[in-house]
Structure formats: C-alpha cells, structure tokens
Amino acid sequence: MIDVHVHEVGTRDGLQSVPFFVPTETKKRWCSAEARAGVGEIEVCSFVPVRLLPQFADAAEVVAHALTLEGLTVAALAPNLKGAQRAIELGVHKINYVLSVSESHNRANVRRSTEESVNDFARVVELARSVPEGRRPKIVAGLATALGCTIEGKVPEARVREIAAQVVAAGADELIVADTVGYADPASVRRLFKALRSDVGAMSIKAHFHDTRGLGLANVLAALDADVRAFDASLGGLGGCPYAPGASGNICTEDLVFMLEAMGLKTGVDLEQLIALRGEIQEALKDQPFHGTIAKAGLPKGFEKAA
C-alpha cells in the first residue's frame, strides 16, 4: 500500500543540534502530530549520556508517550551497549545503533575504533535476543559517513561493504546507510546502494541523506533507482552532526514527501498536515534555521498526491 517509507528523525537528529532544551510537551506534540499525519516511524530520541546531550534528558518520558501512538514504530538511537540497554528497558520497537565507517569519525564521535563499535554492536544484538519475543526490539545498524567524511574525505566503497558485512554477520535486522556530512552525489549513491543490495539480499536498507550541498533530493532519486524504499528526513530540514563542521541539515521531510507523492509514489503521509506542523514546530523552536521550499512556495496548482 505504501510505496516509499518516510521516517522522521528531526526529533533526534534535528533536536540534537538545538542549543537549548526543548520542552518535553513540544517533543510529545511533535511525535503525536507526525504519527497522525501518517509517518510510520520516528526516531524519537538518542540514548547518550545526559551530560553530553542534555536535550535528551527526557528520553524516557518521550519514549513512553510515543509508545502510546497507534501504528507508530518507535525508534531510538544508541551509540553503545549502555544506551541500547536503556532503550530496551523502555520498550522501544527499534534501536538504531550508529557507528561510523570512517575510523577517524568514529573516534571523534564515540571515542573508539570502528572495530570496537562493531563488537559492541554484536553485544547489543545478543542483549536484544535475550528479550522475550514479542517485546524484542529490532536492532538496526546505522553506518555513518558511508558516503564521505569531513576528516578523511572520500570513504572507499569497499570499506562500507566490509563494515556492512560485519554488522550483518553480527545479526543486524536492518541497515541505515548515512551520508552524515552531505558528501554524496547521485552517482556514488547509485553505486553504493546497488552494491549493498547485491551484498545483503532482501534486508531493509534505509538511506539517511543530508542536504548540506543541495543534492539531498537528487540523491533520494538515485537511491530509488537502486531500489531503496525507506528514507530518513527531518521536518524543516532541522539537524546536522555536531562533530562534523559545516554539516547542517537533513533532507526536509515535507519536501521529500512532496517529491515522492508528485512522482506518484505513495508515502501515506498527509502533506498539508505536515506543513502545518512545520509551522508549529518552527514557532516552538524560535530562531532555529528551518530549510525547505514546499512550505514557502506552496503546492502546485492542481497538485494530486499519489493515488
């Protein structure tokens, strides 16, 4: 019924870059409204030490609220076993365990080698498997800097495939392949996602693009050509990576939904509701830069969403 899955990460990747604490009520309202608009999955928070990211001090409360929203898959980011443990205790449906393919970026981000992160990931899978079925979360491996790194520059495709093979062997249920710093171009996207598809077979591979250099939606189009059918995006393009200077902005949820629906690809998301929510959240996050065009330009006259 849904052709392409659009997942919201503004509540995590977006809020992570907001320099003040956003009230818990705003976060809850954001999740509720997105779920109501038809977004099927939200990365609602990050399980990192509160002293590093005080923004997510209320993670438990936000998760508890999100779990009451009908039909919503509640995902949370964890960069290590401890975070994953907490996410499991709180009953999230999905844990997005993020590690960087680029060695230097991984060290800057989580102060360990990529190999140590892969081993840690294996322990997260083991921990999840000890949870009784029915309550057991899916464990997703998020491969950051898979299309370039601000520290190392180009990241070899062979390296990405190698790390992907390792996390799949360790028991990943799904993959997220992330252009964390906005270095990807449509040609590299097509190549990498086609290669990964041939490596991992039918496993779900989601693309996570940043629009830092304006190619975000073109990269989505390239990934669609490589049979990717799930994308992360952030309302108003909010977000970035605090450890990658100049890397600002996920692709915009509302612009992504517009492109897909205009192309005749059903997302299940109500664009008008999303645009209204954008206005509301932008107001709640005063002074934060919001990106994107469809909210400003308006829908084309006679626009029809995918039937």
Figure out which of the listed residues 111, 187, 272, 289 binds a second copy, where binding follows CB under 8 A: 187
Quick check: 220 binds a second copy (CB under 8 A)? Answer: yes
Beta carbons of 116 and 156 less than 8 angstroms apart: no
Quick check: 103 binds a second copy (CB under 8 A)? Answer: no
Q: Extract the runs of DSSP E, i.e. beta strands, from 86-173.
A: 94-100, 138-144
For residue 284, the one-letter residue type is A
Quick check: 182 binds a second copy (CB under 8 A)? Answer: yes
Q: How many alpha carbons fall within 13 Å on the CB side of residue 65?
A: 19
Quick check: 154 binds a second copy (CB under 8 A)? Answer: yes
Tell me which residues in 197-216 interact with a second copy (CB under 8 A). 211-215
Quick check: 236 binds a second copy (CB under 8 A)? Answer: no
Quick check: 232 binds a second copy (CB under 8 A)? Answer: no
Tokens describing residue 290: 């919001």
The CB-of-98 to a second copy minimum distance in angstroms stands at 21
Nearer to a second copy, 61 or 152 (CB): 152
Figure out which of the listed residues 233, 238, 294, 305 binds a second copy, where binding follows CB under 8 A: 294
Quick check: 56 binds a second copy (CB under 8 A)? Answer: no
C-alpha distances (whole Å) from 101 to each of 131, 143, 195 are 28, 6, 16
Instruction: Name the residue with tokens 């989505």.
Output: 220
**Rounded distance between C-alpha atoms, residue 108 and residue 140, angstroms:** 21
Quick check: 307 binds a second copy (CB under 8 A)? Answer: no
Figure out which of the listed residues 69, 221, 276, 284 binds a second copy, where binding follows CB under 8 A: 221
* Closest by CA position to 307, among listed 263, 245, 252, 250: 263
Quick check: 233 binds a second copy (CB under 8 A)? Answer: no
Backbone φ, ψ for residue 129 (5° rounding): -70, -20
CB-based contacts of 289, cutoff 8 Å, min separation 6: 248
Known active-site residue 149: no
Nearer to a second copy, 134 or 214 (CB): 214
The 254-293 site mask, x for binding a second copy (CB under 8 A), equals -x--xx--xxx---------------------------xx
**Rounded distance between C-alpha atoms, residue 257 and residue 111, angstroms:** 36
Quick check: 150 binds a second copy (CB under 8 A)? Answer: yes
Nearer to a second copy, 54 or 246 (CB): 246
Neighbours of 51 (CB within 10 A): 7
Quick check: 301 binds a second copy (CB under 8 A)? Answer: yes
CB-based contacts of 49, cutoff 8 Å, min separation 6: none
Catalytic site positions? 241
Binding footprint of a second copy on the chain (CB under 8 A) = 148-154, 181-183, 185-188, 211-215, 217-218, 220-222, 246, 248, 252, 255, 258-259, 262-264, 292-294, 297-298, 300-302
